[in-house]
Amino acid sequence: MFTGLVEEVGTLRRVKKQGEAMVLTVEASTVTEGVALGDSIAVNGVCLTVIAFDRTSFDADVMPETYRKSNLHQLRPGQDVNLERAMLAGGRFGGHIVQGHVDGVGIITGRETDVNAVVFAIRLTDDEMMRYVIPKGSITIDGISLTVVGTNASGFSVSIIPHTLAETALMNKKAGDSVNIECDVIGKYVDHLLHFKPAKETGRPSSSRPESKLSAAFLSENGFL
C-alpha cells in the first residue's frame, strides 16, 4: 500500500520491450535506500516489483495487464517519473489509501494558474471511472494523492500547490499528455458491495457467497450517507 506522497522524481534510463511486456530501469537515490529484491515501488502511481537493483537504480517488470491499463508503455528514456516506496506499517499516513493499481488513463485537457496554484483539467478515457470521482474526494494522478475540486460529464479538475508541482514530474505535464488514474479504493469497495450479485450457472447451485444485503437506504438509515 502507498500514500500518494511522492518521495522523489527518478529518471527512466532504459526500456526493454517484448510485446506487451517490459522491463524498466529507473535511476533513483532515495527509494533505493535499503531496497531488497521483491520490494514494491510505485512508478507514476503503478505498483511494480523490484527484480534487480544497485545503489543508483532499480529494474522492474511490467506485465501485459499493467501495460494495457497504464501509460507506462508511452514512457521514453530520459523522462522523469514519480517514485514512492510501499508504506511501512508504523509510518505516517499523510495522503490517502493508494494501492498502485491503476484504473485507467486520463488526458490533460487544460492547465491554468489560479493565484499560487495550478489547476489541471483531466478527461478520463473510460467514462465508467466517473462513478468513483467525487468532488472534494481523493484521487491519485501519476502516483500523487490529490483532491478533486470539480467534475463534469467526462472528467474532473485538481488544484496543485507549488510544493507538489515542484517536487513531482507533474511540473512538466501539459495539455495532451496522459496520466495514470487510480480512484479512491473505498468507493470501489462500497460500490461492489452494493451491487454484487453471485454468478449463477445453469443446473448448478448458486455461488456460496451470499448476495450483499447492503443498500443505499440501509446506509442512509444508519448514518453512513
> In CATH, what class is 8-85?
mainly beta
Q: What is the pLDDT of residue 123?
A: 97
Q: What is the pLDDT of residue 88?
A: 85
Ramachandran region, residue 33 (left: φ > 0; alpha: ψ -120 to 50; beta: rest): beta
pLDDT digits (tens, 9 = 90+) for 160-179: 999 999 999 999 999 999 99
In sequence order, the 6+-apart residues with CB closer than 8 A to the CB of 14 are: 24, 25, 77
Q: What is the pLDDT of residue 225?
A: 67
Residue 134, burial from CB neighbour count under 10 angstroms (0-12, 13-18, 19+): middle
The CA distance from 106 to 120, in Å, is 11
The domain spans of the chain are 8-85, 187-219
Residues in the chain: 225
Weakly modelled stretches of the chain, pLDDT under 70: 200-214, 219, 225
Model pTM greater than 0.75? Answer: yes
Q: What is the pLDDT of residue 201?
A: 47
Q: What is the pLDDT of residue 136?
A: 95
| DSSP three-state, residue 169 | helix
Q: What is the pLDDT of residue 220?
A: 72
pLDDT digits (tens, 9 = 90+) for 69-90: 999 999 999 999 999 999 988 8
